[in-house]
Amino acid sequence: MPTDPRRPAETWTCFLVDARSEGFSVSRVEHKMGQRACPAAELSFDEVFVPDERIVGREGDGAPETTIVLACSRPPVGAIATGIARGAYERVLSWLEEDHAARGLLERQHVQLALAGMEEEIHLARQLYMDAATELDHRALGGVMSHPSVRALGHVPASVRKRAPVRGWLASERARDATVALLHRTTSERAVTRSLALSSMAKARGGDVAMRVTGAALELVGLRSGPVRAELEKLWRDAKLCQIYEGTNQLNRLEVYRGLCHRETISSLPPLRRIQLNGAAGAQTDARAHISVNGDGGES
């Protein structure tokens, strides 16, 4: 949300809000038709105070932070959708091969064509989310995640990271600026834009494939197929949500157009800022030129 309503784009900021905060409440839990194990709810914030230490990243960096999060989160949605489609395909194939009520159906050519189409779509959907994940790992964010300083931080015991001095340093402006500098040294806005486009493509196609495959499976089993129809109906309800969350498929396809068709480069990295180094009064320097993160986690 923006910290200044008069400048929403420039002050868009991400926060962590404690659920015990005064003024926070869950207004309503949605009654969903699918994926009911994952609740969706309406949250209310009535004059909730959020301290500065709850800011994720830096104030005003919310837009590029959200772009990176979506590039990371959309391929898993494509994988979820592909898994739903695969589950429907495997159930209907097993029913056709083993159930007495389906005897003779596998010998019909239109059934064989339907099954081949399911297999084909599942394979293509799987390839898309694997491509998106590979792009993310090796081009967009692979450099920062494999950097020695980041890997070293991952080996620090949680008990140490939770200590007040360590938490204070990690939440400091100096640490945040060093993180942003590392992002700019190891990736580019064009790489993140392309990664977001591929992630969006994987998510959108996966959701559509899940809907088509579950729908085709329901058509094959008909109305008198026993428990397998109930399983397929549940998968169909689960599949629909994959077209909606992490951005509707229409919004995802707009990202595909911007990143791959029109070859735009969106603002997807937090900006480098002028910071004070070594505590020297007035020693303001440009972060791009003077900040680097060494293998031992220090700054120079």
In a domain, 253, yes or no: yes
In a domain, 65, yes or no: yes
- The per-residue pLDDT for 113 is 97
H or E element in which residue 182 lies: helix 173-186
**How many domains, in total, are found in the chain?**
1
Q: Which domain holds residue 209?
A: 61-141+187-269
Is residue 177 within 8 Å of 273, Cβ to Cβ?
Answer: yes
Model confidence over 156-190: pLDDT tens digits?
A: 999 998 899 988 888 788 888 888 999 999 999 99
pTM for the model stands at 0.84
In a domain, 218, yes or no: yes
CB 80: neighbour CB atoms within 10 A?
22
In a domain, 298, yes or no: no
In a domain, 12, yes or no: no
φ and ψ at residue 169, rounded to 5 degrees: -70, -45
Q: Any idea what the CATH number is for the domain that residue 75 is in?
A: 1.20.140.10
Is residue 232 within 8 Å of 214, Cβ to Cβ?
Answer: yes
- The per-residue pLDDT for 274 is 52
- The per-residue pLDDT for 290 is 33
In a domain, 220, yes or no: yes
In a domain, 230, yes or no: yes
Q: How far is Cα 257 from Cα 263, in angstroms, rounded to an integer? A: 8
H or E element in which residue 29 lies: strand 24-29
Q: How far is Cα 241 from Cα 40, in angstroms, rounded to an integer? A: 11
Q: How far is Cα 274 from Cα 58, in angstroms, rounded to an integer? A: 13
Model confidence over 37-58: pLDDT tens digits?
A: 988 999 999 999 988 888 888 8
In a domain, 69, yes or no: yes
Q: Virtual CA dihedral for 225, 226, 231, 236, nearest 10 degrees? A: 40
